[in-house]
Chains A and B, each alone.
Chain A
C-alpha cells in the first residue's frame, strides 16, 4: 500500500466500544494527500475488520463521516492527515454530545429529532399552487437564507457546542440554523410558527454566542449569526404581538 519514498508511518489511537471503551493503537502507513477517512478505512480493511465507522460520499457532501480528530470535531473525508497529525500521531474519537453506538459510530437520532422539534421544515402556502414564487436574489431575506443554506447535517456544530453538553435539551446550532433559513424564506406560510418553536428556554435565547459551531463548521457557515438573527426576529415578533 505504501508508495515508494513514503516510509513514514502514523501512530493512530482509535476509540473502541461504546461509553465503556478503550483506545486501540494502530500503525498506518503515511501517504501523500491522505485523509483521516483514508486512515480509518485502512485500519478497517487491512488491520481490524471489526472497526465500526460511518461514511458515504467521501467528497464532503453527505455529512456522515464526522469524527473527533485530535480533540476537534472534523469531517474526516476532507481533513488531510498532514494538517492535523501531531508528530505523526492521530487520536480518533466518536463525535462528542452524541450517544455512542460502537467505536466511531454515534446515534444521530437526537440530533435530527431536534430539527423536528425546532419546526425546521418548510410550510407551504396555498398561493404556491398558482405558479412559481418570485424571489429576488438581491433581497435581504434571500441573502440571509443563502448564507445559511448549505448545511450538510454532519453534526460537527452539535459536537462542538458547549451549550449542548450543559443542557441536553438545547436544540443546537444546526436545527436553529435551518429554522433561520425558513424564517427568511418568503414562500414559507408560517414564519412566526418557526420563531415560536425556537424561542423557548432550550432554543435560540440559550445560545451564549461562544461560536464553537461557527469555528468548526466544515462548510464555513455561521450558525451563531443565524441564531442571533432568530433572537432579533423573535424580539420584533414579540413587539408586534405575534408571539
Chain B
C-alpha cells in the first residue's frame, strides 16, 4: 500500500485526535453536571433541543470518532489478525459507516 495513504491516515488520525480531546472533556463534564444536578431525561432533551450548539458539537464528535476509531481499528486488525491491507481496510470502512449511522441517529434524536 502506498506511503501517501499511510501519511494521510496518520494526518487524519492526529487531526481527529485534536478535535476529540476537548470534545471528550466537554462530554464528560456535561454528563457529570447533568447527573449530579438530578436532571431527568425529558429535562436534558428540552435543553439539547433548545440550543443548536449541542447537535453541532455532537455531530462533530461523531465524525471525529468515526475517523479516529476506524484508523485505529485498521492498525489493530493488521497487526493482531491475519487480515491485511484490503480486509482490514474494508472492516475499518464498515466500522466508520456504522459509527456515523448510529451517531447521527442519536444526534437526530436530541436535535
Contact = CB atoms under 8 A, between A and B. Distances in A.
B78 A205 contact: no
Interface stretch (A3-11, A92-100, A177-185, A230-238): A230-238
Residues of B contacting A: mostly: helix
Residues of A contacting B: mostly: helix
B79 A167 contact: yes
Interface string A103-142: 0000000000000000000000000000000000000000
Interface size class of A (residues with CB under 8 A): 10 to 19
Interface string B71-90: 00001001110000100000
A238 B78 contact: no
Nearest to B4: A243
Given A166-B79, A167-B79, A201-B1, A243 B85 contact: no
Contacts of A231: 10
Contact of A200 (B2, B11, B78): B2
B43 interface: no
B9 A205 contact: yes
B11 A166 contact: no
Given A163-B79, A166-B79, A167-B79, A200 B3 contact: yes
A203 B80 contact: no
Contacts of A243: 3-4, 7
Interface string B7-28: 1111100000000000000000
Contacts of B3: 196, 199-201, 203, 234, 243
Interface residues of B, number: 16
B79 A205 contact: no
B11 A235 contact: yes
Contacts of A163: 79
A205 B6 contact: yes
B85 A238 contact: no
B42 to A, nearest CB: 45
Nearest to A197: B3
A130 B87 CA distance: 53
B74 to A, nearest CB: 10
B6 A238 contact: no
9 contacts: A166-B80, A199-B3, A199-B6, A200-B1, A200-B3, A203-B6, A231-B10, A238-B7, A243-B3
Interface of B: 1-11, 75, 78-80, 85
Interface of A: 163, 166-167, 196, 199-201, 203, 205-206, 231, 234-235, 238, 243
The 8 A-B pairs of least Cβ separation, nearest first, read A199-B3, A166-B79, A200-B3, A205-B10, A205-B6, A201-B6, A201-B1, A238-B7
